[in-house]
Amino acid sequence: MFGKKKEQPQIDTEQLELIQNAQKRIKQKKRLYIHFVLFLIGSVFIILANTVLNIGKDFTLFGKEWFLFAILIWLFFLIYHVFNVFVTHKFMGKAWEKKQLDKLVTQQKIRIEKLKNELKREAPLIAESEHYNESLNKKENTPELTIIVAAAENDAIGKDNKLIWHLSDDLKRFKNLTNGHYIIMGRKTFESFPKPLPNRTHVVITRQSDYQVPEGVIVVNSLEEAINATKSDPQPFIIGGGEIYKQALPLANKIELTRVHENFEADAFFPEIDNSIWKETANTFHTKDDKHEHEFSFLTYERK
Ligand SMILES: NC(=O)c1ccc[n+]([C@@H]2O[C@H](COP(=O)([O-])OP(=O)(O)OC[C@H]3O[C@@H](n4cnc5c(N)ncnc54)[C@H](OP(=O)(O)O)[C@@H]3O)[C@@H](O)[C@H]2O)c1
């Protein structure tokens, strides 16, 4: 009633085929071995038949006993047999070769299908990472908006729309750093200059709609507009004054600060630098001398 289920062989067809081939090969070699033993016994028997039993004693070929030719002919067949077994592998004929080839082609097709499926799965991820890299590159290409300022220990930067000190090396540094760049400034700072500075593109921010400026000077009505106007410059500078520094500090990537080591009375100030946002990356101290009435340091800050 509850007859036993016939057990299926647990071995896969590929392995089965390999085993069958190995068995065939063993049989083939066994047959060759038997052939060799028969040849030895047969040869001895033929020699004895001729020499001891005198069979065909009078029969010679080219002056030699007949058994020599009989052994040579047999030897030829034996060598042919050896050749078949070890050189041509005769049982592995054309059909076998075709089967092997078909098997390889099928395996390759399966691999190609697998790769296609993997590619389908990974394509969105690759696209996503390319998009990420692109956005990183874009970030690299973002202009380095830099604030340049000279501020006292109490953050004073100016009084009565004038600078409070004259520091020759600070002016040189300002000139070197901003040379060839766009400089963004408030209307009051612009008016503190006797004339526009050479070799720089001035961008003046004012709320006035009809503010008149010399040729070449760009007038804008907001800080955002000013930054947009400098898009072609990899490092536009914010050069002041107090009102513009305050608005630009959250947008800047870098600060080039000259810290004058004294306190001054002033009406314009630089906002406090938050050390949790900015890290100091350079600091050079400068002593007092004939050209410099005050001690100062050149400091560079970069956004953390
Ligand atoms: N130590 C230094 O490194 C340094 C550097 C630069 C300047 N300074 C000093 O700083 C002082 C000037 O600074 P400050 O704060 O008085 O003036 P400022 O920042 O140079 O200019 C203020 C003016 O900019 C315009 N403005 C500001 N924000 C604006 C906005 N969001 N949209 C449109 N326009 C805007 C307004 O112009 P309108 O009134 O025309 O609308 C405003 O009156 C001077 O003493 C100068 O010498 C010092």
Show the domain range for 33: 13-92
| In a shared domain, residues 177 and 299 | yes
CB of 202 within 8 A of CB of 186?
no
Which atom belonging to ligand 1 lies closest to the Cα atom of 207? 41
| In a shared domain, residues 166 and 290 | yes
Instruction: Identify the residue with better confidence: 86 or 137.
Output: 86
The residue to mutate among 170, 200, 204, 207, having the most atoms of ligand 1 within 8 angstroms of its beta carbon, is 207
CB of 167 within 8 A of CB of 260?
yes
| In a shared domain, residues 24 and 88 | yes
| In a shared domain, residues 155 and 252 | yes
Whether residue 3 is predicted with pLDDT greater than 50 in this model: the reply is: no
Ligand 1-lining residues (CB < 6 angstroms): 149-150, 157-158, 161-163, 185-189, 192, 205-208, 221-223, 239-244, 247, 268
| In a shared domain, residues 299 and 206 | yes
Whether residue 91 is predicted with pLDDT greater than 60 in this model: the reply is: no
| In a shared domain, residues 154 and 269 | yes
| In a shared domain, residues 77 and 172 | no
Q: Whose CA is nearest to atom 31 of ligand 1?
A: 222
What whole-number distance in Å separates Cα of residue 67 and Cα of residue 53? 13
Instruction: Identify the residue with better confidence: 8 or 273.
Output: 273
Helix residue ranges per DSSP H, the chain: 13-51, 66-83, 94-141, 168-178, 187-191, 223-229, 242-248
Q: Which two three-digit tokens encode residue 99?
A: 């089967």
What whole-number distance in Å separates Cα of residue 241 and Cα of residue 258? 14
| In a shared domain, residues 200 and 292 | yes
Is 265 part of any domain?
yes
- For the stretch 147-166, pLDDT in tens is 999 999 999 999 999 999 99
| In a shared domain, residues 68 and 176 | no
| In a shared domain, residues 201 and 297 | yes
Is 113 part of any domain?
no
What whole-number distance in Å separates Cα of residue 85 and Cα of residue 214? 102
Q: Which residue has the tokens 């874009």?
A: 138
pLDDT of residue 122: 82
Confidence of residue 4 (pLDDT cuts 50, 70, 90): very low
Ligand 1 centroid–CA 304 distance in Å is 27
Q: Which two three-digit tokens encode residue 141?
A: 């290409």
Report angle CA 143, 147, 153 to the nearest 5 degrees.
Answer: 160
Which atom belonging to ligand 1 lies closest to the Cα atom of 222? 32
Q: For the domain that residue 246 is a member of, what is the CATH number?
A: 3.40.430.10
| In a shared domain, residues 163 and 298 | yes
| In a shared domain, residues 80 and 152 | no
Is 121 part of any domain?
no
Is 3 part of any domain?
no
Q: Whose CA is nearest to atom 35 of ligand 1?
A: 206
Which atom belonging to ligand 1 lies closest to the Cα atom of 220? 33
Domain count, the chain: 2
Whether residue 85 is predicted with pLDDT greater than 70 in this model: the reply is: yes
Confidence of residue 96 (pLDDT cuts 50, 70, 90): low
The contacts of residue 282 (CB under 8 Å, 6+ apart) are 298, 299, 300
Confidence of residue 90 (pLDDT cuts 50, 70, 90): low
